[in-house]
Structure 1
Amino acid sequence: MNKSTDIHWYPLRVTYSRELLLKEFLDSDGVENFIPMRYEYVKKGDRKIRKLVPVVHNLVFVHTSLERIECIKQSPGFSLVVRYIIDRETHQPLIIPEVQMRSFIAVSGSYEEQIVYLDPEITALQKGDRVHITGGIFEGVEGIILRVKGDRRIAVCIQGVMAVATAYVHPSLIEKIED
């Protein structure tokens, strides 16, 4: 296997809040990518407007090879803007496992207001069972069960980057994953 041509999910830092500009460039180039978004109310004049904005500014998840990312970094306008998030143990660009990223997209891909984004340290400190959701809108998602704001939720963590928790999930839709 050639590490530079293998396709994985990579989280990238994008400086100067240009994440939506990078997304537009990647979309036009046919590169799969994801930015967690949510609705916010922004005041414009004396009116409040509901606007879709990134949950975390300067963060884009890209599904491609390191070789392709290097080409993107050399593209006009992105040479000083795009940076890897480095794994502290291996000192290599952080790779997100496919299953983990698909679960993360399934939860954070909806713009539902009941979704709660968490700091990864919060979920790392909680002792929870690994579970699989068997039905409902989050069917197929794998994560850790924990209590957030008084409700039982499933947290999907991307180690060292961020975590997202589902809305309340009924216990009948949760199946424990045995190690």
Structure 2
Amino acid sequence: MDTIKPSVPRKEMILWYPMRVTYGREEKIKDALDTLNVRNFLPMMRLRGWVDANGEPHQNIVPAIRNLIFINSSQERITELKMFNKECNSLRYMTNPFSHSDDDYLLTVPDRQMENFMRVASVQDDRLIYLDPNVDYLRTPGQKVRIKDGDFKDAEGVIKRIKNNKRVVVEIHGIAAVAITFVPAIWLELIEE
């Protein structure tokens, strides 16, 4: 069977690139990309709050996954930003060590998978636990589900046992994973594969 090659070279295609960021500059890069109208996603989370000496409550919102940002652009545009924009020069492409061709050497995330991950990770909530994407329990099979209601409506994930509890895990294989600590069973719809 012949595969159809896209008419646009891969370097010019708009794709989601997971990018490493050196020295914890995720927020500065996000601000620079937002200013340049380059679509990006930086998962954020709230740290537990504290009360200062005046009795004022405070909360920090920080990057949920250190040294990682997702950029939706062409490889040419990102390379141009890395070379000519001071704020973006600390960006590093993530690569596939098992690649044997130039077409899949740089890691990208399919649009549908990225939208699903963003649907969950954009909720700054104590119900989320960010996981190391390379731990063994993520490799165990689980039932695929879709969430039918609530803050995570339409998100798809896999039920996994984490910390002795069943959780819905949404994962970008090898890059990022987030577990939802509680979803009522009535909101879960099984997905047949």
| TM-score where L is the length of structure 1 | 0.89
* Aligned equivalent of 2:191: 177
Give the deviation of 1:75 after TM superposition: 2.1
Q: Which runs of 5+ in 2 are unaligned?
A: 1-5
Give, in whole Å, the separation in 2 of the partners of 1:15 and 1:44. Answer: 32
Aligned residue for 1:88? 97
Alignment of 1:151-170 (within 5 A): 151-170=165-184
Aligned length: 179
The CA RMSD over aligned residues, in Å, is 2.2
Residue number in structure 1 paired with 2:111: 98
* Partner residue, 1:11: 18
Kept in 1, the 8 Å contact 2:46–2:61? The answer is yes
Aligned residue runs from structure 1 range 59-74, under 5 A: 59-74=68-83
Q: From 52, 55, 64, give the equivalent of 2:61.
A: 52
- The answer to which structure has the higher strand fraction is 1
One-letter identity of the residue aligned with 2:19: L
TM-score after normalising by structure 2: 0.83
Residue 110 of structure 1 corresponds to which residue in structure 2?
123
2: CA distance, partners of 1:132 / 1:83: 33
Question: Between the two proteins, what is the percent identity of the paired residues?
Answer: 34
1:79-123 superposed Cα distances (whole Å, 9 cap, x missing partner): 641110112222611111111111111111111012111111334
Unaligned runs of 5+ in 1: none
> For 2:11, what is the secondary structure of its paired residue?
coil
